[in-house]
Copies of this chain bind each other. A is one copy, B any other.
């Protein structure tokens, strides 16, 4: 039926780097380096169930096709899948010279010529947006005469295509090969996100798209777009264009137009990725104040305005009129069911005009945190009227603001995050974890291991509480990253988080992870992504840029 080769030998051919293993595990050196190759090859994140046999097939770029299965509920009109077929064909054969053989070339007896993609549910969701309840499961069977990828919805099919592409390797003659394999897969957590910050540094669209592309390679499904902050307001609002006109680093070159935003959302959708924008208030809003008069609280020096500003002004009705209009726009621009409202790190050092009648009328006097809660409460009510759910940073919960039952509380404060998870879930709220995954905090050596070793459910709580943890996000805050260094700094460090959020809880073998991740990173490099190295090693095809 086929050529069989020892699986470990195949792995060596795929991109297994000698130097890398010689040096990684000093104290467990073995004579046979192949003993350290993962039996799961370069799969990342590791699927829930994998069976790889020693039977292998060849694939050629001239014969191999990805096609819709006859029974599939998604046909040629599903451009999401058609696009994905092209994309994965390119990933799999892009670096291979086309053989230019005629279509009538006889294929060998052990050649795999087709992957059939079969959407099994009547509604493929091809034209929908992904959501937190999307079915992302799939089953993959690689065998002759056809490989078959079955998934209830397109979302699972996208993940299955990535997995299929990860099963390919080059044998010792450079021929593309794949072993007979059976995979059954689904994510452990529904919310697997990356936060990028386009305020501290503007991120050109090209950079955002490249990272969405890479997110899909790692089965991430949420792009948390921290789009504005103190430093700049690059979001071009149709309702309030002066916000970016005045608040962006540059009103033309450093903004996201409505067309840009639309493109990002569609590019993400085609890869099964949700785009959740964050418009963080009432703190982190210095840039908002530049284009919107009276939006920020004026700070006082004695009885006079000092010329500087604090958070969003919670005592003016105009504030809520503005927020009402603004979030109405946001609710139509961003299709996702959720919007992130921030609410973190409100700076209370701005001395306010405590003796004015308007302040006294609020009844809060100097209790700033109550004032913040007052603001947030009204904001949440406003956003609720737009039919959106909301995510908020943990402080909003900590301050006792009344939240809708479907609120997602985002735990980010390091030290005590387990206790926070316990509290949030005890109160019945859904939560996601970011505290251990602040990837902007770089350090020397292999910090991916630290991210990898996190267990999100490692807090005291009932089974019911644990079910409220729907996932997590790796955050790359923007103080020190822009187009020059963001991508290599994020990958493959974020890949460690990807596997933690996708794979089974017991997938914790750090050596196996190192081996698979090393190959996964070389695969990203080969696909044009400057993912940085884990340690001394090489990739068969090094990055072509500088």
Contacts and interface: CB of A to CB of B under 8 A. Distances in A.
A13 B540 CA distance: 45
A19 B538 contact: no
A23 B249 CA distance: 13
Contacts of A445: 479-480
Given A19-B232, A545-B545, A546-B210, A200 B536 contact: yes
Contact of A530 (B441, B443, B535, B546): B546
Given A19-B231, A201-B537, A482 B249 contact: no
Interface stretch (A414-422, A463-471, A483-491): A483-491
A531 B546 CA distance: 11
A204 interface: yes
A157 interface: no
A489 to B, nearest CB: 7
A202 B546 contact: no
A17 interface: yes
Contact of A533 (B204, B443, B484): B484
A444 interface: yes
Interface of A: 17-19, 22-23, 29, 31, 200-202, 204, 206-207, 210, 230-232, 249-250, 253-254, 286, 307-308, 440-445, 478-485, 487-489, 525, 529-533, 535-546
Q: Which of A23, A231, A487 has most chain B Cβ within 10 Å? A: A231
Contacts of A17: 249
A519 to B, nearest CB: 15
Nearest to A536: B200
A443 B545 CA distance: 25
Contacts of A543: 204, 482-484
A339 to B, nearest CB: 24
Contact of A546 (B31, B207, B230): B207
A487 B230 CA distance: 29
Q: Which of A19, A23, A207, A489 has most chain B Cβ within 10 Å? A: A19
7 contacts: A201-B538, A206-B546, A482-B532, A482-B542, A484-B531, A485-B530, A545-B545
Q: Which of A204, A308, A484 has most chain B Cβ within 10 Å? A: A484
A372 B271 CA distance: 58
Given A444-B442, A480-B445, A532 B485 contact: yes
Nearest to A249: B538
Contact of A536 (B201, B443, B525, B545): B201
Q: Which of A29, A232, A440, A483 has most chain B Cβ within 10 Å? A: A483
A524 to B, nearest CB: 9
Contact of A202 (B23, B442, B485, B538): B538
Nearest to A479: B536
Contact of A525 (B19, B481, B484, B533): B484
A350 to B, nearest CB: 13
Given A201-B533, A443-B444, A538-B202, A485 B488 contact: yes
A531 B441 CA distance: 19
Nearest to A546: B210
Nearest to A307: B31
B231 A483 contact: no
Nearest to A480: B533
Contact of A532 (B254, B481, B533, B538): B481
A46 to B, nearest CB: 24
A448 B91 CA distance: 39
A250 B15 CA distance: 11
A440 B533 CA distance: 13
Given A19-B200, A253-B541, A479-B535, 20 more contacts: A18-B249, A19-B232, A19-B249, A23-B230, A29-B308, A204-B543, A231-B536, A250-B540, A440-B444, A442-B444, A478-B536, A480-B535, A482-B533, A482-B543, A484-B488, A484-B530, A484-B531, A484-B545, A485-B533, A530-B546
